[in-house]
Amino acid sequence: MLRNRQRGLTLIELIVAITLLMLLTSMTVPLARYKVRRERERELRIALREIRAAIDKYKDDADLGKIGPTKLESDNYPESLEILVEGVKLTGQVDKKKKYLRRIPKDPFTNSTDWGKRSTTDDPKSTSWGGQNVFDVYTKTTERAPDGTPYSEW
Output 98-105 pairs: Cβ under 8 A, ≥24 positions apart: 98/61, 98/66, 98/67, 100/54, 100/55, 100/57, 100/58, 101/50, 101/51, 101/54, 104/51, 105/46, 105/47, 105/50, 105/51
Domain contains 101: yes
Residue 79 DSSP one-character state: S
Q: Evaluate if residue 9 carries a pLDDT over 80.
A: no
Quick check: is 4 in a domain?
no
Say how many C-beta atoms besides its own lie within 10 A of residue 33's C-beta. Answer: 10
Percent of the chain's residues with pLDDT above 70: 96
Helices (H), 64-141: 81-86
Rounded Cα distance between 83 and 80, Å, is: 6
Number of domains forming the structure of the chain: 1
Q: Give me the mean pLDDT over the 19-42 stretch.
A: 90
pTM for the predicted model, two decimal places: 0.78
In a domain, 5, yes or no: no
* Within-domain flag for 52: yes
- pLDDT tens profile 51-89: 999 999 999 999 998 887 777 778 899 999 999 999 998
pLDDT level of residue 5 (50, 70, 90 thresholds): low
Q: Is the pLDDT of residue 1 over 70?
A: no
**Residues shown for the chain:** 154
Q: Are 105 and 79 in contact (CB under 8 A)?
A: no
Domain span at 137: 11-153
Whether residue 6 is predicted with pLDDT greater than 70 in this model: the reply is: no
Instruction: Decide if 1 is inside a domain.
Output: no
What gap in Å lies between CA 57 and CA 89, rounded to an integer? 14
How many Cβ atoms sit within 10 Å of the Cβ of residue 47?
Answer: 19
The answer to whether residue 30 sits within a structural domain is: yes
pLDDT category, 3, cuts 50, 70, 90?
low
- DSSP one-letter code for 146: T
Q: What is the mean pLDDT of the chain?
A: 88
- Report the C-alpha dihedral over residues 116, 118, 122, 128, rounded to 10 degrees: -20
* pLDDT tens digits along 98-131: 999 999 999 999 999 999 999 888 888 888 888 8
